[in-house]
Amino acid sequence: MSSTLTRPAPAGDAAVRDAGPPRRRTKVFALPETRWAAAALALFLIGLPLYLLGAPAWAWGPLFALTYATGGWEPGWAGLQALREKTLDVDLLMVVAALGAAAIGQVLDGALLIVIFATSGALEAIATARTADSVRGLLDLAPTTATRLADDGTEETVPTEQLAVGDTILVRPGERIGADGRVLDGASEVDQATITGEPLPVAKEAGDEVFAGTLNGTGALRVKVERDPSDSVIARIVAMVEEASETKAPTQLFIEKIEQRYSLGMVAATLALFALPLLFGAALQPTLLRAMTFMIVASPCAVVLATMPPLLSAIANAGRHGVLVKSAVVMEQLGRIDAVALDKTGTLTEGTPRVTDIRPMAASGLSEEELLRIAATAEHPSEHPLARAIVDAARTRGLAIPLVEDFTSAPGTGVTATVEGKAVAVGSPARLLNGRTGHAAAVVAARLEDEGRTAVLVEIENTPVGVLGIADRLREETAATVTALTGLTGTAPVLVTGDNPRAAARLAEEVGITDIRAGLLPQDKVTAVQELERAGRKVLVVGDGVNDAPALAAAHTGIAMGRAGSDLALETADAVVVRDELATIPTVVALSRRARRLVVQNLAIAAVFITGLVIWDLAGTLPLPLGVAGHEGSTVIVGLNGLRLLADGAWRRARSGNGQ
């Protein structure tokens, strides 16, 4: 192997790589929607105590007027633009209702409505900006430059976008791979969790495929570029997330589905109630008062508030228990899901390799503790994830790890060292046994690998003395969560993973999943979700990695595991399990269903009040104070009904109701 291939990367470059790609994040107050909403809220909060304490109108009036202006001009302008397209926007209706409330003396109600809508718009703008930040930041995973090798062996540093199919690049230890391609020469282990979700680095040698943006280990590789950088897997992930975000139909709350008809009907009725009596000679002031009273009692404000408190209460309750639901729309969507697709690594498992089996050979005379201590001593200087798992297991058992001598590491093979005067090798059974398939250690290793574990052979003086089994540990609550989700949806979840089929099958058998789709790239996960949706299912996807982001975006609802989740997954998902407590997922789904039932109850209550007050106003003479009192009374009733979901008891009932 030439010196070019084995030459280490400069220390400065390694330091930059270890720091990871810079995180791009839009500042909250860089968004105009946030600034206007914050101004409206501040003005409202200043004016509110003055109003409630009975201060003169000149003290609080200008503050509320500025609240209307700062919080209402953007939705009002957007509504007017929608009118040009012959669409009546609910935001415009809310602004008109707020102005109407102010016109008949209900200044506080109108200001509160303006603040609610301005804040909602700001939150939506923040969520959109953060998702865009994460999509752009994903491109930082792929390095901006690569080392291209000329035919005569000379090196040239070039921007990765200038790489062409057929070029040969050099990837030194610790560098990120600059393009999708195939290894021509060298051996190393590549961490490709961002693409496949595999929990452990994968050994790569001549002939193996590698992906742009994945992290090279301790070896050096010559790679032949096989895809244009614009068509790499990481670039396609970006494209899929953006496409899904743009084409995914905007989901509306239940009440918003009848928004247009209701809004048009109410506006038409208000205008008719004002214009027709005037045509027949009625006096202006009482006619205007009746029309404004009608608009107040018939306005959808009460209906909107009937819808929001249960959903917002459920969001707050879920947040206290470690589930961040990003909007009321998402909380309502969660209750509609009838199929679940689960990622494996980092979702059903902890995402960290652990020693699961310690198998000393009978002829070695070693105990499990002695075998583990020897392996941990040899692996102690190594930074490989398998080495860390072995060392951690030894420390957990309280085993002493003596000093090691003559340590060397061979990518794809393992490590060698002198431990207590003896030559010890720890690594790949296939490489260390060198074809001795009939050896007892080979039989044990094959059995462990058939069970979905990674087998690690330990040799002393070239004699196999034992085998360690290492696997990503299943979360304790995984089986119960799968059972609960099955009960909620009527069908068992689907396992969608980039991990190898054997590891996927073993885990699925443990937790009761029968539909297993393994070895999937990000686009394959999207295809699996789309197949379920074409069958009429509303799919919930649960994942944590960059490779899960396209599926999270394409699904009806996506939930990300928050503790180790990638930025892109966290921003793309509709909800985040902050503490990685898998058991909270079926609970929040059950809570969403309870919230939707309360929404229906509240809509029925609001409809009864609105209908009664409207009939009274049309058939008789509804006093304005009584109309406002009835309108506000219905709002209070449905609000209190929705707030029932704030109590911890609602979470406990949701948990017990889904079988946990």
Q: Which residues participate in catalysis according to the annotation?
A: 343
Phi-psi region of 86 (alpha: psi -120 to 50; beta: other; left: phi over 0): left
CA distance 169 to 188: 15
Residue type, 634: S
Strand pairing category for 221-225 and 181-186 = antiparallel
CA distance 392 to 611: 68
Residue type, 23: R
Residue 364: closest CA among 238, 481, 509, 464: 464
Mapped onto helix, strand or coil, the DSSP state of residue 223 is strand
Please list the helix, strand and coil fractions of the chain in percent, rounded to the nearest 5, in that order: 55, 15, 25
State both tokens at 65: 């007027």
For the chain, the distance separating the N- and C-terminal CA atoms, rounded to the nearest angstrom, is 58
Residue listed under structure tokens 């069970």: 451
CA distance 577 to 487: 20
CA distance 520 to 196: 7
Mapped onto helix, strand or coil, the DSSP state of residue 339 is strand
Strand pairing category for 539-543 and 339-342 = parallel
Phi-psi region of 572 (alpha: psi -120 to 50; beta: other; left: phi over 0): alpha
CA distance 445 to 484: 35
Greatest alpha-carbon pair distance for the chain in Å reads: 112
Residue listed under structure tokens 């073993």: 506
Q: What does the chain come to in residues?
A: 660
CA distance 346 to 562: 10
To 5 degrees, how large is the angle CA 294–CA 299–CA 302? 125
Rg (CA), the chain: 32
CA distance 221 to 177: 9
Give burial (CB, 10 Å; 0-12/13-18/19+) of 94.
Answer: buried
Residue listed under structure tokens 């790499």: 232
Residue 403: closest CA among 367, 378, 423: 378
Residue 7: closest CA among 126, 111, 124, 153: 153
Residue 222: closest CA among 194, 189, 187, 192: 187
State both tokens at 414: 């393992």
CA distance 377 to 411: 18
Residue 552: closest CA among 526, 580, 581, 515: 526
**Cα 351 to the chain's mean position, in Å?**
16
CA distance 253 to 311: 10
Residue 160: closest CA among 216, 211, 219: 211
The strand pairing partners of 560, in sequence order, are: 543, 576
